[in-house]
Each structure stands twice: as structure tokens, then as C-alpha cells.
Chains A and B, each alone.
Chain A
């Protein structure tokens, strides 16, 4: 296929960016989206133009590194990660616009690379179970109903990619945060810190400049791991309970 690519180029955080247009020929439908960008970068390098910076590592849809706005959609037209999106989702002659995640809380570092360290700082505020190494009880001493374990697993699969934030008109990270709150809230190990966890994580979320959730649902629609919207209800419920408990 032959494609026209409109790509956001920005040399660094301090500079202003602009869309540049490139032509790319002979793209195979079996290529992943990132392989298509590899081919473009080889072409740019050859022409003496600096390759486009974009993030990626596993290329298996699990590390959460890759993430691009493709034609205005987080991770593009399919419900998957950018690295697992394949060119067979596009047609010959298409024009594709590629931009970095859009969110004030994710400032651009260069080209398509943004800073998502705000997610780590939210986790630092309580997205864990406080157990020191070596202090754990025998694993079978605390049974967990299978349904709870399965559900905890389903929401624990969040890869921290940030698509939910990028897709949200408010720039809210509620889906990301709700996934962690729900994961730990479903397990007996997560109970003792349940109230402080939600209060502190939400406070950090707001301090980072993420917006509030108004239940639009764009987050879950673009989440490659299909984290359901009800984790946000769970988040709100936990927050109300914690406040009722005097936090």
C-alpha cells in the first residue's frame, strides 16, 4: 500500500511542534503499525532527516510503552495497543495522522514521546499492599474465591499505557486508577489499606493535573485491555466509604 503520513514533530519539550507530511510506499498489510514507522525511519535516515521518536519495547501489547493518537483515536481504529495494530486495518492511499497522547498531565518529550511518570506517582500513593519481603503468610492460609480472583485479574491487566487519559475529553485518569483500586479491593490482602489507598491516590491524581470523570466512557472504549467502566463506580464508592470512615 501507499500511504500519506501526517506526523507531529517536536524537537523537545520546550519547542513548539508541527505536523510534517511524509509519503511511504510499499507498506505490507502484515506489518504492525510500529514496523511501518520503522520503515519510515529507515527512509528518513537515508534522506538525512532525523527519524521520528516514538516509544515501544515489548511489541507484544503488554508493556504499555507504545501509544499514539492515530487519526484522532488512542491506539487507532482497533481495540488494541499500537504495536498490535496491523496495517491490514488501513487501505491503500490512506492518509494517516499520527500524534502523541494529548493531555496536560503527559507533557511531550519529543515527537511522539510523552512523559507518563504521573502514573507512577499515583501508584506511589498507595497502589500496593504493604508487605515486607519474608513477612508473608503461607499462600494457602488465605483462600480467595475464584470469582474474586478472576475479576481481580481482569482489572489487574491494565498496562498503564495512558490511552484512557488521551481519549478522555477531561483528561481524567480515573479508569487507570479505578483498575488498581478495584484489583486490590477485591482481594483480602488489599483490605487493611483500602480507605487510605483511595484517598491518597485520588489526591495525587488531582495534583498531577488530571481532570475529573464525567462518565463519558471514552476511556473504556479505547482501553486496549478492555478495563470496564464500572471500576470507576467502584473507585467512587470506595472514596465515599473512606470519607464516611473519617478519612
Chain B
């Protein structure tokens, strides 16, 4: 079925008029040849930098999450002169700290048939064949070393009685390859990377700039050469120059306002780079996580994730009859319950991938069978029930596996999940889109590298559980330090002066934005704009998107943007800590990103992974992909504030894997 053909057979482009077609784009760094040899080949071909020269090379790394802290520590150990930036007061507080469930690695410790190839295969398939094959293979290859590294750092992973590491299985996967530290794996991994980073700070190879926010990228003579950052305590606008810039600034899920991301997570670093020439790839790919605590009211500022490891033992259901929805769930007999995932997807049951679990929950709630409090006239919640697990394993075993999650749930909702089934609902959780990078993790701006959630390459249209942590650490510990060498082998680059036009331009752009926000003196708070943007995005660019909805969203966002610049109210001064000013800059960038996300979603008239287009579904309502037309990465080029963005397509070529329609039935 050809969807880009209109009713009378004419060719048809939903996004026509919203973008300009551009030249195709290719990744020139991935070596040819058998997939299992590409990474070795690239490491060998990447030129070396003599240890004595490394000291003379300045590396800026923005972000201290798993991707940034691991890269800064490793580059510091190698002897480069590293400057590390984060907006929090300490690198240890980066958003990675919140990851709960675990990290994958192809160790095959369970002898259950795991291998590098299987991890590679599962990840490409899980990403709905929209990730880059060679990147994903490399990720699977280095995964085992990540565990070795973290264990050596003292990360207290879960262990078995024999003293060896324990594993569990995680959403959408049939082998046990997930390493975990109770429900706080991200915390322990980040503390490991943070400690390695602090060790380098003490050794003098890394200078740490915490409470600093990057607000602009400096691109001089075609190369990324530094950043403009604001000291968030003194308000001083600082220039930092370097030979290379790495963005490890995390994901932009907060464009939706309500998400599981940390409140400060933002797109500014990436968006400013985008405006300077870095392409933004697949921005509309948003992962909606199925197991979050439902919204309780309009004051809500963020949503809390319950680790999806809960799906290993919890059973998901809603009442069969709408009339039962406000009853105490314990009074609803077995025969009146609909264990809908087990019913529709018998072979994966409650462990279907996230996009499928999320949409299924939305569907039953839209049918009117949701549970929990009514917010805006709909009950948005489904039960996650541990009654069977408690009978089978005993309450103590359930408590020892999930105790901290149960406590968290009880604290937030005021309900006891040991006696009443938990309620969950999907929420925005992770973005697969990000700055376009080649196999070396270099963006379209020479000298600008992008790692972790901020880049686009490894997860396709849907990220499998426990693979973001793997990617962050793979990029930072094992990939970037090798690929960046090849670029730095041409350095040190000609020093640039602080009065170089590119530096002056970047500083002025930051200053004028600050001055603008403080001078508007309108009537609406920054947060109120952020909420409104979030509502538009969730409504029209959330779990299900349609041509009409997306066009409407673009109009709404354009109006919102206009109003924001004329009517926002930011009090306080520039030369001090000013949290409203910080938020204003972030929301301004989110608004522009939001528009691009809608345009990207409009262009992609197919359903794949986290992107569900209403116009592209099978007869029984499953996502329908169109490999013949959309097996490409959409890489968007900024063309100016008043111009339509330019769409460059990178064809996705699979040589080691056959593209198949995903089926979990």
C-alpha cells in the first residue's frame, strides 16, 4: 500500500509547503565490509594523537550525565585538556542519575543464547528498523566492556549468592541480559562515572564548570571552536574556546512540559548548535513510557516513572465493563478483568515493547475503561497488579525486588500498592531524535561531536529498555575517545581571539536574548507558556498523530511563539541567579523545536516505533511501516527564523539484517 498516493492516485506530500527538499546526506565514516569488522577497522584507521600533543588540545564537553562524564573522565585520563560543563551544582546530579531499570550487555552470563549479534538484532528490530546498523552493532560489541569498567569502579550491581553478577530480562526482550543495581541503576552508574570524573578534576586534567549553562556555540571558519556559557550564579556571560566541542546535553522530552525527565533537561545546547548548522535528525521520535504514575491534577509539574522491570511480575488489566471502572479493583472478579496485553499479544504478554504497551493503554482508556480519578473527564490509568506475584513469590520476595518502587508509589499517590493494585499510564520519557551524527559521532559541523541522548543514531524509532544507559556509556568510554582522535590529529587549530567575529556574534546573540527577556515585562509567566506548548505537543504530536492535528499544532505553536516574545514576564536581573530567565531561554528553544517536531511528524506518513500516524495502520489497528518510502533518517537543516527548514534524507541501508515487519503477537 502506497500511502503517499492520494485518493485519486496523484502523488501526495503531507508536509508540502512546510519544508524545502535538500540534497541527500550520507554517513561517510562508517567503513564498508562485514559488519562485525567495521568498528575495528575504524579504530585502526582513526589517526593517533601523540601523548605529548594531547595536553595542547582543549576539549569542551557540555553535560555530565553518563555520556558526558564518562567521556570527560576518559579524555582526561588520556591527557587532553578537558573543560566540563553542567547546569546543576554538581556533575553527580545529571538526569542520568534517575534511570531505574538497568543496562544491557551481551555477556551471555545466563547461557540463554545471548550474543553480540543477538543484542544487535534485538536493538535494530526494537527500533523498528530506523536506526543505523553499523552504529548499533558497535554498541552491542562494546557493551560487555561497559560492565567490566563499571564493576572495576565499584558499581554495586546486583549479585547472586555465588558472588557473580545477576541479570534480569527487560521490556521486549526474551534473554536475561540486563545488569542492574536494584531500581537505581542510573544512579550507581552515574556515581561511578562521576567519581572517575572527580578523580581527573583532582589530577588537573579536567576543569569543572558546574552551574554553567551553554547558551551558544561558536563556529569559526567552519569549525566548532567553543561555547558561550552563562555563569548561573553571577550571571556573567563567559567565552570558552577549544579545539573541539562535544555535546552530551541529554534529551529534550521536556518540550512536552509533563515528562519523566528532570525539570532542567532542555534542548538549548543542541538547538543552538542546530541554528549554527548542525542538522537535527528525526526530531519527532518520542518514546512514551507505559509505566508512569498517572496525572493527579493541574498542579502537576512532572511525571514519575515506575521502572518497567515491574512488568516482569506485575499483570496489567482494566475492567471488562465500563461500569466497574470506579469500583475497588479488589472487588472486581477475575472473569470481569481484561488482561489486555496477555490477550492481544500472547507470546510477549505484559513484556511487549514500550510503544505497543503505551498505545494499548491509551486505547483501553479512550474506550472508557480507564481507572483512577477523572481528569478532564477521562480516567487515564490501568492497573498493574502484583496480587498473583505476591501469591507465587511471597510478599517478602516482591518487596525485596521492587520495594523502593512500591514505597515511591505510596509516597506519591498516598495508596499502598501491596494491598491495592498500582495505577499506571504512559508518559513522555525519552527522545530518539537528536542532532545528526556520522559514525564518528560528529555532527554536520566539523569539530562538533554529539553523544548520548543528544544524538540520534542508535535507537531508531523506538528505544528498547536498558539501552540508553548502554549507549551513553558506550559513547563516552569507548567510542568518542577513539573517533575524536582522528579529528584532533589535525589540531591544535589556529587559536582564535575573543574578538573574532564569530565569537563576538555568539556573545551578542546571547546578550541580546537575555536583554530581550528582561525587558518585555509582559503579563504571562514562562511556565504558563511551557505548559501551553506541552499541551499542544501532547495533544497533536504525542502518542498518535494525524495530518490535520499536526497542521493545527504548527499554527498554534507559531501563534504561541509570537505571543511569547511579546508578552512574557521575566522579573529580576541578569547579573545574579535568575531562574525565570534560565527557563525563558529554554522555553524559547523548545517552542522552535516543537514546530520542527510537528513538521517532521507530518512528513513521515507511516507508523513506526514511537511514531504512530493515524493514517498508517493495519486493519486491526497496529502500526504500519512503509520501508519502501520512509527507510530514511530525516535530517533537518535550519534555514533561518522565517524560512522553511530543509529536509535532507539519509537512506538506511541494512546489509546484516533483513527488514521485517515487527510482530509481537
Contacts and interface: CB of A to CB of B under 8 A. Distances in A.
Q: Do A and B bind each other?
A: yes
A63 interface: yes
Chain B residues touching A, range: 35 or more
A143 B264 CA distance: 39
A117 B262 CA distance: 20
B304 A160 contact: no
A55 interface: yes
Nearest to A127: B195
Contacts of A157: 184, 187
A237 interface: no
A152 B208 CA distance: 28
Interface in B142-162: 145, 147-149, 151-154, 156-162
Interface residues of A, number: 77
A18 interface: no
B301 A136 contact: no
Interface in B386-414: 408, 411-412, 414
A149 B299 contact: no
A54 to B, nearest CB: 8
Max count, chain A CB within 10 A of own CB: residue among B95, B182, B198: B198
Contact of B89 (A48, A115, A128, A150): A115
B152 A127 contact: no
Interface in B86-143: 88-93, 95, 97-98, 107, 109
B90 A160 contact: yes
Max count, chain A CB within 10 A of own CB: residue among B299, B300, B525: B299
Nearest to A43: B525
B223 interface: no
A138 B148 contact: yes
Contact of B93 (A12, A42, A65, A143): A65
A57 B88 contact: yes
Nearest to B163: A143
B481 A133 contact: yes
Interface stretch (B283-291, B445-453, B543-551, B569-577): B569-577
A65 B88 contact: yes
A37 B514 CA distance: 25
Contacts of B577: 12, 53, 109-110, 113
Contacts of A12: 576-577
A230 interface: no
Contact of A134 (B91, B202, B478, B527): B478
A32 to B, nearest CB: 8
Nearest to B94: A63
Contacts of B576: 11-12, 110
A16 interface: no
B198 A50 contact: no
A88 B580 CA distance: 28
Nearest to A111: B577
Nearest to B70: A133
Nearest to A135: B152
Max count, chain A CB within 10 A of own CB: residue among B181, B191, B305, B571: B191
A118 B362 CA distance: 47
Given A45-B580, A124-B199, A65 B89 contact: yes
8 interchain residue pairs of minimum CB distance: A143-B163, A128-B195, A136-B152, A124-B202, A153-B156, A152-B156, A136-B148, A133-B74
29 contacts: A31-B297, A46-B525, A50-B580, A57-B88, A57-B262, A58-B97, A60-B304, A63-B262, A65-B88, A65-B93, A88-B414, A116-B90, A120-B90, A120-B91, A120-B201, A125-B202, A129-B154, A133-B77, A133-B477, A134-B478, A137-B148, A140-B165, A146-B160, A150-B159, A153-B156, A153-B181, A156-B191, A160-B92, A189-B151
Interface of A: 11-12, 28-32, 34-35, 38-39, 42, 45-46, 48-51, 53, 55-65, 80, 84, 86, 88, 109-110, 113, 115-117, 119-120, 123-125, 127-140, 142-146, 149-150, 152-153, 156-157, 159-160, 183-184, 187, 189-190
